[in-house]
Amino acid sequence: MSFELGESYSGFKLHQRESISELNSMALLFTHLKTGAEVLVMENDDDNKVFSATFKTPPSNDRGVAHILEHSVLCGSRKYPVKEPFLELLKGSLQTFLNAMTFPDKTMYPVASRNKKDFFNLMDVYLDAVFYPNITEETFMQEGWHHELE
């Protein structure tokens, strides 16, 4: 499919197109018209498909809330209510990469697969996890505990 600069596709407007010679790729930056969410598409010949849901998570203190939430959202979701879908995916997916990472200013949930059906399944599981997590008090007790050293 050929994308035209300034045109909208499924509610996303293409506002930047740039060749990245080092990656032998064409970078396309889309912005969602209603929410402002950005989507970066890298068109190239690589058969490994990669997706990441990435959120700005600047901390307000040093308690590690973003990292606790990173782990907590991967403890089941509305569509996938299993206790640890991440471990199920590691066992049963054709994934080439599956992880979640917290940085000082953002949290990422990346997945990759060479198999198209598996790739879309991974995306579905991760998107459901980040937007509809089954976070309970028990989840926080499991993921957010700490000890005070005297």
Same domain as 58, residue 19: no
Q: Is position 70 annotated as part of the catalytic site? A: yes
Per the prediction, the chain carries an average pLDDT of 93
Residue 112 near residue 55, CB atoms below 8 Å: no
Question: What is the extent of the structural domain holding 7?
Answer: 1-44
Same domain as 137, residue 66: yes
Same domain as 78, residue 31: no
Same domain as 120, residue 93: yes
Please tell me the distance from the alpha carbon of residue 26 to that of residue 44, in angstroms, as a whole number.
Answer: 7
Identified catalytic residue from 84, 143, 148, 150:
143
Same domain as 63, residue 34: no
Same domain as 87, residue 52: yes
pLDDT at 146: 67
pLDDT at 69: 92
End-to-end CA distance of the chain: 62
* 23 occurs within a structural domain: yes
Q: Which residues contact 76 (CB under 8 A, 6 or more apart)?
A: 82, 83, 84, 85, 129, 133, 134
C-alpha to C-alpha distances, 116 to 49, 79, 87, nearest whole angstrom: 8, 20, 20
Backbone angles phi, psi at 83, to 5 degrees: -65, -40
pLDDT at 140: 80
Q: Is 0.95 surpassed by the pTM of this model?
A: no
Q: How many domains does the chain have?
A: 2
Q: Is position 22 annotated as part of the catalytic site? A: no
Looking at residue 68, which CATH number applies to its domain?
A: 3.30.830.10
Q: Phi-psi bin for 122: left (phi > 0), alpha (psi -120 to 50), beta?
A: alpha
> pLDDT digit string (tens) for 55-79?
999 999 988 999 999 999 999 999 9
Identified catalytic residue from 4, 7, 38, 70:
70
* 89 occurs within a structural domain: yes
Same domain as 31, residue 66: no
